[in-house]
Every structure is written in structure tokens, then in C-alpha cells.
Amino acid sequence: MAKRDYYEVLGADRSISAGELKKAYRRLAMKYHPDRNPGDREAERKFKEAKEAYEILGDPQKRQAYDQFGHAGVQGGAAGSTADFSDIFGDIFGDIFGSGRGASQRVYRGADLQLEVEISLEEAVFGTESTLQVPRKATCEKCNGSGAAPGTSIDNCPTCGGAGQVRMQQGFFSIQQTCPRCRGKGKTIRVPCDYCRGTGLRRVSKKLSVKIPAGVDSGDRIRLTGEGEAGPDNGPPGDLYVQVLVREHELFTRQASDLCCEVPVGFSMAALGGEVEVPTLKGRLKLKIPAGTQTGRVFRLRGEGVKPVRGTSVGDMLCSIVVETPVNLNRKQQELLRQFASTLEEGGSHHSPRSHTWTGSVKSFFENLKFWSD
């Protein structure tokens, strides 16, 4: 009987890549493997057919010969193969179950840590340096991270022979899994270190000095490379992340690169105008208040804000005016205000335009409300 085309056997076209070819064979091998189809002669035939096709097409030189001359170019190439099913499956499924080679040499990185540092607004704007106590796992200095008591040896695991994995085989199907005795390390410790109890790591507290750059804000994180926990079996350490928390300020609030500040001014200054001293993080500045200034008006002081860590321009200071109503007036002051108020009433909307507009809106509202209720 003439052999089927190898590409047809694997359900692939001739332009298929090596990776996709491997996946195609994997699907057929899983589907027709004798262990999954006991007593099924047809499934066994298709499995061997797929195996033969992949042995040819999976080899670049044999695939080139087959593409040029067909079956004649690879006569004996597949029939003479001595590889068994477990070898083929070890290659195909090694990326799923792990090869086991060098498993005892794997190095694992230590865990990352995160701490919070609280600073003032001034420190956040201009930068500072903070000292932290960092609790973490460090390499045991007594056993130098090996986990074995000084003077004792570390032996290969008798179960896996130091590979870190064991092979389980059922018929033709073979897989590898982590060794249950050494848990993948490939080594066993006869006498554990009494200082770290065989872990190779000790809980310590280290003092670190952290430089806080100018312009940071709440939520920003600073990474200190290698200052996390030590890795097991002398693996590389993790990193330490310092998260910044800026305390609330008595005078200022921050909005991105701008600083905001409320400035209370007296009734007479708001009406007549004047000059008030306002604070900034760099010192005092004079702010001119125009006559007739209302509550909520915002004045911008250029360049008196913050330069962000990842920005190039400095923000501004936003001064929001709050007109303060006089309190605790004596009789004379009250009488003077009444006289003043009567003179304002004579001017009508000229002196209080917003109040006049609001009164008109309220009157219109109630007239409409009465209309709809009727």
C-alpha cells in the first residue's frame, strides 16, 4: 500500500512552521496514543503513522529531502529509527511536564517587599532623606544560605538522584513530575542548621536610608533594587518598594503641580481693595486685592507651585479668596453697618448685582411654581 503524504497525515500544508508542525503532531499523538485507545488497532496504526511523519518532517534535513524527492528521498529514514515512544513523548511534552534536566540548578528570586513612608508637604516638594527599619528574610550567616549545619554535607536526593524530578511511566506514555521527597531541589540535608532550621534564611531587621526625590506625591513608589527578601538557596534578592504618603498641610492642598490656598480677607478690604500678605513654600508674597472682590475668586501666582518628579515645568499657587463676615460687633459698629446698609438699598442693583439677580430668579421660580400647581 502506498504511503500517505506526510503533510496530509499531520493535517498540515507545506509552508507550516516547525513550531506549528510540532503542535499538529502533539494533537494527533494525544488523540491516538495506545494508552488512550487500548485494543484499538486503527488508533495504533494512526499513531505510528503520525510518529513516522513527524520523525521525517521534524528533522530539517529530512524535511528538505522529502519536499524535493517525496518518499524516495527519505527511504529508510523513518523505518530505521530506533527511538521509542517514551523518547518521542519526552521531546514533545517536555515543555508541559518539565525536562528534569538541571532542575536542581534552578535559582529562585526572593520576594519583593513594600513599606510606607510618611512625609510632610515641604519634604515632598523639596525632597528629603528618610531612615527606615526593614524587616525581611536574609541569608543565614551561619550556614551561608545552604541550610545545612556547618561541617556537614548536602547529598543528592536518593529518590530522584539529584534531578529534582522523577519519571512516571505507564506503557508507552511517560511524564515527569517534581520529586516528592526533595520538592524539586535535588538535594537533601542530613543535619539542618540550628540557626535557620534548615531554611537557609533568617528574619532580620535592616536600617536603610531612602532618598525621596523632590516633587513626589502621595501614591508614588520608589524602588530599591536588591533590598527585598533574600532568595532561597542563595538566589538573588527581591526589591523593596517604598510608597510615599504626604501628610495633610495646615495651609496648602496640592492638585497635580499646583498648590492651593484659601486667603481670608475682611469685608472692607474686599469692598475697597487693598493688599494682603500670602504664604508660599518659598516665603511671603504680597497679593493685590481689587475693589469689589467676591468670595471664590482665584488669583494665580506663577511658578510658586511644585515641579513634579516626571515633569519639567513648575506649577502655580492658586489663592482662593474668602470674604469674612464681621462677628462680635459692638453697638456702635452695628449702628454704622445699619446706616451703611440703608445707603446700599438706595442704590439698588448697582451695589449688589448678584443679589439682585438672585432675588429676581427666586421670584420667577415661585411664580412658575404657582402656575403649575394651579
Q: Any idea what the CATH number is for the domain that residue 179 is in?
A: 2.10.230.10
Q: Considering 189, 212, 246, which residue would you say is the last residue of a domain?
A: 246
Average pLDDT, the chain: 83
Average pLDDT over residues 59-86: 65
Question: Higher confidence at residue 364 or residue 157?
Answer: 157
pLDDT given for residue 372 in this prediction: 63
- Domain match, 125 and 158 both: yes
- Domain match, 47 and 149 both: no
Q: What is the pTM of this model?
A: 0.60
Q: Would strands 258-266 and 317-324 be described as parallel, antiparallel, or unpaired?
A: parallel
Residue 204 has pLDDT above 50, yes or no: yes
The parent domain of residue 206 ranges over: 113-246
- Domain match, 175 and 275 both: no
Q: Please write the tens of the pLDDT for every residue from 210-254.
A: 999 999 999 999 999 999 999 888 888 999 999 999 999 999 999
